[in-house]
Structure 1
């Protein structure tokens, strides 16, 4: 689901580059959006490009309503409101929207406003975007390959001991896992038995939930379907078996047809997961157009805060969020430069620091997963960083499901995080009373300590128990299903 930097972002596969959401950096507010002439006002300014914004206020209905009134008065349209977050997604062609909305009488309590992208809104005005052909290439009844059982090819399941864990449990149908990605082919024979259509959604129309039947399916990317298979491909005598083949999965589509995951899409996905009682969600992407969003007083700071609130809300509602570390071979603990952002217009090289976050993976409460090879080494593309990586899991040349009933190999931290998502689902199945913090703690505690390479690598700082390459170790499925924890 991601472009090269987007694709860890959708990083997986077809080559790491293909799905690797990799954009490092932070851009100033001035660089992020068109600048209007000084002194212009909402009434005097010529219309600019159609842009989407996050508007942050206090998390209560009254303040959100005031923000909505200020948005309208400043020439904006409300796209989606989240009383529970104190976040409103707005749309406007007013080039002075950020300043004008805060200057309005009802905008005095607005805390921050920021554009969610640097390119004009590709979906068009809210409510008018055409829906994607949800069943494109995925119609039920199409000819599909007749695969033979391929568990023997799944070295990744042996590395995380899933093959042993399955002798204890395949997971519970009570557990619902959200695949926040580019869409899932629910007609795939290895995914259909575990697919939950009722709780699936498409969030890529300006961040407005679309529950049209099939809207959750992929249209241009195989990424989400591959991720879904690693998590929960069914034990049905064909193809492969996922880490947690007995749990349910739902598709939360947050990647548009161009491969972008904008903040409003991701926020929609986190809130949807929370309100539909998901237990675990997988996020194999970074939020565009910046791989790193900086804590500034402009667009990036406002977006960082809005997404943080969405993640915190999901966590409070009982959702554990698991995310890919990224495919830039970048030290997340020592950020210095970003040469690829913004990735939706023209990148502007910039200096960054550790206040600039790769979202959602670096947000509080999110499990950050690095990638390993079959030889239990760090994958060359995987991001790393002492006290940034929580655990590691297989991500190089992983066999999983593809749209249309097929199977194929992909590589990326996008492939690593679904292994940990599946382990968390097994853990939740065995310990249904555990909340996100319990699961997070157990994932770290149960991981198999993995030392730095025997050939010295100065980047692998830390100890065998916790280092920059593997965090607290390679995630362990077998320990996850033991009840003595």
Structure 2
């Protein structure tokens, strides 16, 4: 994951943020900032716009279903004034636009993308490089089901609407740009980063003879743009995205990020509490409207069940060093109740060196790539996962990771839990298509029960990759039926559809 991404790759950066004693990011007088205003009893005041205006702000978006509004203000006293309103439960600024720090998934050998091809017996022209699909038996599953009739919402940096391997499967009408906190429908959700196009390809790249094939090539996919060009997923965008998903017939969402600016958001901290509660309300709203939420766990080799330090947050300004945290601080959305959380595996079918994990947190594991603990071969040249990439953004994919199909279409190798989550999302889409009408809870149970159980690996091989945040060694706890590294096991597309 990049900083905010939970998965993979470019040279920019992904990371995580959480906190204990919350220091509010500083802003100079007159700096316009975005605020989350949380109302009591899930009820936005009828005159919310006027109240916000009187406090020196402007209403951006209102979500009365969950008692949340998004506001903008250059008044340094805006939050203080709004908190005096008896109808308001909390107010938090959401960002300060700073720098990003690299994460553990950026380490490892790269290798070049130009390697001898192997014979393709399934899929499209570059499917000989899709070791990840073979590992979870996607080719065999496609003989039974391809995900037809399912609508996936990819909450990410957008999707390249012109990509020839995705274009036929993109649902433009149910796509939206949520970066500002107010949804703008349609092609404004164009990807300006690359990350979203990559995750979208893993989920639903078309079986059309070119490039790659997604886990669910028969599914439709909506671009729900929450991440900006720098890869930040701020609270207003995350809230907007889940509200959009819950009101537009989305069946399952992919969430390959953590919500900025706090890697671990602390509900016992007054600065973060409003953000924590507002995001939880939005996710719960989507879930109550039938949306299955699947999320990546992150790339900091952290034991999320036992957090002690967060060295990343706030990630949009200067992080607080040695910031102590507890279980009151969580990775959102991965640790929200009911969310299916995914760790990453490489081609050795064990947890990737960078992947975060945790007993009671991890549900399943799926291919995300591993550039260190992998076995090199023609179809696994560098340990990473190959997927679609915006044609106009070659600079955001390292040259050694680029692959061009015979028609010139660009593909990119990446690694991270960002790549793992969409594999699980694709399998969930296959289940939904195979068993129409199954509830989100039923799909979760099917995803877990049909996974291939994996025992804890020899953790000595992770000795050089301790937690990025507290330097603790990686420890796997539990048995083959369920453990902190692998959850219930690696997703299996074939058994998931009854094969």
* Preserved CA contact (<8 Å) 1:449 1:472: yes
TM-score (norm 1): 0.85
Query: What residue is the counterpart of 2:316 in the other structure?
Result: 344
Deviation at 1:27, TM superposition (A): 5.1
1:246 aligns with 2:218: yes
- Cα RMSD for the two superposed structures: 2.0
Alignment of 1:77-226 (within 5 A): 77-103=58-84, 107-119=85-97, 149-172=125-148, 174-204=149-179, 206-211=180-185, 213-219=186-192, 221-226=193-198
* Preserved CA contact (<8 Å) 1:203 1:209: yes
**In 2, Cα distance between equivalents of 1:231 and 1:386:** 26
Query: What residue is the counterpart of 1:429 in the other structure?
Result: 433
Deviation at 1:297, TM superposition (A): 4.4
**Residue 481 of structure 2, aligned match among 465, 482, 485:** 465
Deviates more, 1:93-102 or 1:267-276: 93-102
Query: What residue is the counterpart of 2:206 in the other structure?
Result: 234
Deviation at 1:25, TM superposition (A): 2.4
**In 2, Cα distance between equivalents of 1:59 and 1:435:** 28
**In 1, Cα distance between equivalents of 2:244 and 2:140:** 33
Alignment of 1:397-476 (within 5 A): 397-404=384-391, 405-454=409-458, 459-476=475-492
* Preserved CA contact (<8 Å) 1:53 1:116: yes
Count of residue pairs brought into register by the alignment: 431
**In 2, Cα distance between equivalents of 1:335 and 1:29:** 16
Q: Secondary structure at the match of 1:65?
A: coil
**Residue 237 of structure 2, aligned match among 256, 265, 270:** 265
Deviation at 1:14, TM superposition (A): 3.5
1:305 aligns with 2:248: no
Please give the per-residue CA displacement for 1:91-143, whole angstroms capped at 9, x wherever unaligned.
1122222221132xxx21211111112449xxxxxxxxxxxxxxxxxxxxxxx
**In 1, Cα distance between equivalents of 2:385 and 2:486:** 18
Please give the per-residue CA displacement for 1:275-329, whole angstroms capped at 9, x wherever unaligned.
1100011010111111111112422111000000000000011111111110011
Alignment of 1:325-340 (within 5 A): 325-340=297-312
1:289 aligns with 2:261: yes
Please give the per-residue CA displacement for 1:185-239, whole angstroms capped at 9, x wherever unaligned.
12111101111111111111x211122x5311112x1111111110011111111
Q: Secondary structure at the match of 2:326?
A: coil
Deviation at 1:164, TM superposition (A): 1.3
Q: Which runs of 5+ in 2 are unaligned?
A: 99-122, 370-383, 392-408, 463-473
**In 1, Cα distance between equivalents of 2:170 and 2:161:** 6
* Preserved CA contact (<8 Å) 2:16 2:313: yes
* Preserved CA contact (<8 Å) 1:81 1:89: yes
Please give the per-residue CA displacement for 1:5-52, whole angstroms capped at 9, x wherever unaligned.
2232xx31237xx553x22421544433459xxxxxxxxxxx542111
**In 1, Cα distance between equivalents of 2:213 and 2:269:** 47
Please give the per-residue CA displacement for 1:409-466, whole angstroms capped at 9, x wherever unaligned.
1100000000000001011101121121111122112211100114567600111111
* Preserved CA contact (<8 Å) 1:322 1:366: yes
TM-score (norm 2): 0.83
* Preserved CA contact (<8 Å) 2:45 2:87: no
**Residue 54 of structure 1, aligned match among 12, 36, 40:** 36
Deviation at 1:398, TM superposition (A): 0.5
| Over 6 Å off, 4+ runs | none
**In 2, Cα distance between equivalents of 1:24 and 1:74:** 30
